[in-house]
Every structure is written in structure tokens, then in C-alpha cells.
Amino acid sequence: MQKLTIVIPAYNEQEVLASSVQRLLGIEDRIAADNYLDQRADILVVDDGSTDQTWTIIEQLHKANSRVRGLRFSRNFGHQNALIAGMREAVQTAAVVVTIDADLQDDPEKIADMVKLYADGKDIVYGVRNNRDTDTWFKRTTAQMYYGMLGKLGVDLIPNHADFRLMSKRAVETFLQYSERNIFIRGLIPRLGFATAKVFYKRTPRMAGESKYPLKKMLAFAWDGITSLTIAPVRFILILGTFACLLAVGMSIYTVFSKVLGLAVHGWSSLMISLWFMGGLQMVSLGIIGEYVGKLTTEVKHRPRYTVQSKLD
Ligand code: UDP
Ligand code: MG
């Protein structure tokens, strides 16, 4: 049986959720008419511990239409965990899963194109924005720099793709084997292999409500991306250390010459410079190592990623 499940992570989305789900149901009618799949699709909303009316809205939507399902976390576990929970739940019954944000900034009309590509044999279809006009200058620039840097560090990322994508059941199941707790989904999917494709779309501004990614959350997310996908910062320590050593050699030569020339007493400045430099270097290095040790600690604990409080099937 070929069923599509659309997974929507939702955190305090009372302003947009009902209309988003209605719109998706309409789109689903059209997808059903295309006949690529032999079963009607359903929508799974994962409430990531919302503190507003989000869950009540999901319950109402479910009552009105049993093809709307819900999963409720006991607290906020974050966007990435909500996506994983949704995918895990969806593949119990679905042959293909699409993930999309609750605010429908990513063009939901493209889901039909994604399904067509799936029917053509693609396992992963990436939604890719063809512009960043709707972002602020700040977000656009920082995002560009960030993804550019990750690319240089050897992380395989799809430019301008976030978490709007289609995945076949086998792609999702492969992905779910990545059991790490610090997870940056969009950095792992390109590593899965399989046949992939892209659909391009124009991202629109949020219809209502506010972004659920304030700067602090975005920075934490960006940092997680780097440290969970690459050990390049640790290599950077090695380069920095080598550089410091070379500098120290230069300093030593200078000191010896000063001594020979009888100028040794004024060594205070060089002493202070090297002291501060080495101290700073060590602190930076320890900080970076600490980050990975911290990550290791959370990985070995194997804590549950999330806790489901209730479920509407
Ligand atoms: N989201 C979530 N948990 C969080 C933060 C966000 O499930 O802790 C969801 C949110 O409801 C939305 C998606 O992640 O469906 C993306 O968030 P948002 O649209 O606010 O991010 P932006 O588009 O501003 O980057
Ligand atoms: Mg958004």
C-alpha cells in the first residue's frame, strides 16, 4: 500500500496551524487525483510541547477529519526531535513521508511535484528555495557564510534547503539508524545515498505568528551543526598549536640574541605577550575540546530523544 504522510512539527503555532492543515488537505485532494499513490494521504502534526492552544487545535482538526493525526511531546524537545518523532511514527504506516514547517513558508503546492518524482523512483526529494528575498539581510548573510563555511569544512549540504523534503520509507528507515542525540538532520540526509532530486520553490513570509527560531536558538542550532557534523575545529587547534610553536621558536631566537647583545632585561614585554598568547590559545583549545567531550557525554548517556505524552491516530 502506497501512503503519503505529511509531517508537521509545531511549536506554539495556534495562529497558523488550522489554516495550514486546511490548505494541506486541499492540496492532498489534488495529489490523490494524480493517482501516483493508491491510498489517501494523512497529516501528522507533532506538537513540540506547545504552551498555547496548538494541541487543542490538533484535537479539533482530528475530530473533524480522522486523516489529521497528532503526537504531543511532554515538553519542548526542539524542531529536529519533532521531525524525527514524526518520521518514526509516519513510517509505521506510510510508504513516503514529506516534512514541512507549520507556517507553510515552504511552498506546499510543490508536494505534488515531489510525489511525482517519488513515483519516478526518487527516494529523497529536496525542497530548495530559489531565493532568499523573504529573509532579513542579517539572516541571509549569516546563513550564506555559515553554509559556505560548512561546505569548506567538507560537510555535504544542499544549498538553500532546510527541512522541507520528501523521503521514501527506506530512506527514512536508514536515516533513523543514525542514533546520535546531537542531530542536524539536513547535514545527514545527503550522506544516505539513494536516488535524489530537487524541486525549486519561492519561500514566502510567515503568514502569522512569530518565528520560533529566535537568535539564541538559531545560534545553538548552528553550533550543533558544526560540532555534530565535523571535527574540523579540533584540527584547527592542531594548526593553531603548530603556529604558536613556530612563534615560540622565533621568540626564543629573539631572546637568545637579546641576551648575547646584553639587552636581556627588557624581556618583560615578550614574556607578557607569550604568556597571554599561550594562555589564550590553551583556553580556546580546551573550550573546543570541551565541546566535543560534552557531546560525547550526552551521546553515551543514550537518553531518550523525546517523550510522547499523547497521540491521536
Ligand atoms: N519548531 C518546533 N520546535 C521548536 C521550534 C520550532 O517544532 O522548538 C517548528 C515550528 O513550529 C515550525 C518549524 O519548526 O513548524 C520552523 O520554525 P519557524 O518557522 O519558526 O522557523 P523560521 O522559518 O523562522 O526559520
Ligand atoms: Mg518559518
Same domain for 144 and 23, yes or no, is yes
* Ligand sitting nearest the alpha carbon of 8: 1
15 lines ligand 1 (CB under 6 A): no
Q: Which of 249, 250, 247 lies closest to 239, judged by CA? A: 247
Q: Is the pLDDT of residue 266 over 70?
A: no
CA 94 distance to own-chain centroid: 23
Band the pLDDT of 260: cuts 50, 70, 90: confident
Same domain for 88 and 148, yes or no, is yes
Tell me how far apart the alpha carbons of residues 39 and 1 are, in angstroms, rounded to a whole number. 7
Domain holding 279, by residue range, is 232-301
| Total residue length of the chain | 313
Atom of ligand 1 nearest to the CA of 162: 25
Tell me how far apart the alpha carbons of residues 9 and 46 are, in angstroms, rounded to a whole number. 5
- Whether residue 43 is contained in a domain is answered as yes
- Whether residue 227 is contained in a domain is answered as no
For the record, the C-alpha cell of 206 comes out as 510567515
pLDDT in the model for residue 52: 96
Same domain for 308 and 277, yes or no, is no
88 lines ligand 1 (CB under 6 A): no
Same domain for 192 and 240, yes or no, is no
Q: Is the pLDDT of residue 89 over 80?
A: yes
pLDDT in the model for residue 264: 65
Same domain for 178 and 296, yes or no, is no
* Ligand sitting nearest the alpha carbon of 212: 1
Instruction: Give the mutation target among 101, 139, 224 for probing the ligand 1 site: most ligand atoms within 8 A of CB.
Output: 101
Instruction: Give the mutation target among 11, 77, 201 for probing the ligand 1 site: most ligand atoms within 8 A of CB.
Output: 11
Number of domains making up the chain: 2
- Whether residue 140 is contained in a domain is answered as yes
CATH code for the domain of 127: 3.90.550.10
Q: Is the pLDDT of residue 221 over 80?
A: yes
Other Cβ atoms within 10 Å of 26 Cβ, number: 10
pLDDT in the model for residue 107: 95
20 contact partners, CB below 8 Å, separation of at least 6: 8, 13, 102, 103, 104, 207
Least confident range of 101-115, 189-203, 261-275: 261-275
Atom of ligand 1 nearest to the CA of 46: 7
pLDDT in the model for residue 231: 78
Strand 68-73 to 42-47 pairing: parallel
Same domain for 138 and 94, yes or no, is yes
Does ipTM come in above 0.95?
yes
Same domain for 276 and 178, yes or no, is no
- Whether residue 115 is contained in a domain is answered as yes
What are the phi and psi torsion angles at 252 (to 5°)? -60, -45
Question: Across-strand partners of 201?
Answer: 129
Same domain for 104 and 238, yes or no, is no
pLDDT, one tens digit per residue, over 147-193 is: 899 888 888 889 899 999 999 999 999 999 988 888 899 999 999 99
pLDDT, one tens digit per residue, over 29-45 is: 999 999 899 899 999 99
Average pLDDT value for residue range 254-267: 75
Tell me how far apart the alpha carbons of residues 108 and 25 are, in angstroms, rounded to a whole number. 11
* Ligand sitting nearest the alpha carbon of 209: 1
221 lines ligand 1 (CB under 6 A): no
Question: Which residue has its alpha carbon closest to ligand 1 atom 16?
Answer: 101
Tell me how far the alpha carbon of residue 152 lies from the centroid of ligand 2, in angstroms: 27
Greater confidence (236 vs 185) lies with: 185
pLDDT in the model for residue 242: 79
- Whether residue 66 is contained in a domain is answered as yes
For the record, the C-alpha cell of 210 comes out as 512569530
Same domain for 185 and 265, yes or no, is no
Tell me how far the alpha carbon of residue 11 lies from the centroid of ligand 1, in angstroms: 6
Q: Is the pLDDT of residue 5 over 70?
A: yes
Q: Which of 116, 117, 86, 121 lies closest to 100, judged by CA? A: 86
Least confident range of 80-89, 95-104, 136-145, 262-271: 262-271
Q: What is the rounded average pLDDT for all residues in the chain? A: 89
- Whether residue 261 is contained in a domain is answered as yes
Same domain for 80 and 143, yes or no, is yes
Tell me how far the alpha carbon of residue 167 lies from the centroid of ligand 2, in angstroms: 20
- Whether residue 225 is contained in a domain is answered as no
pLDDT, one tens digit per residue, over 102-122 is: 999 999 999 999 999 999 999
102 contact partners, CB below 8 Å, separation of at least 6: 8, 9, 10, 13, 16, 17, 20, 45
- Whether residue 19 is contained in a domain is answered as yes
Same domain for 115 and 241, yes or no, is no
Same domain for 51 and 107, yes or no, is yes
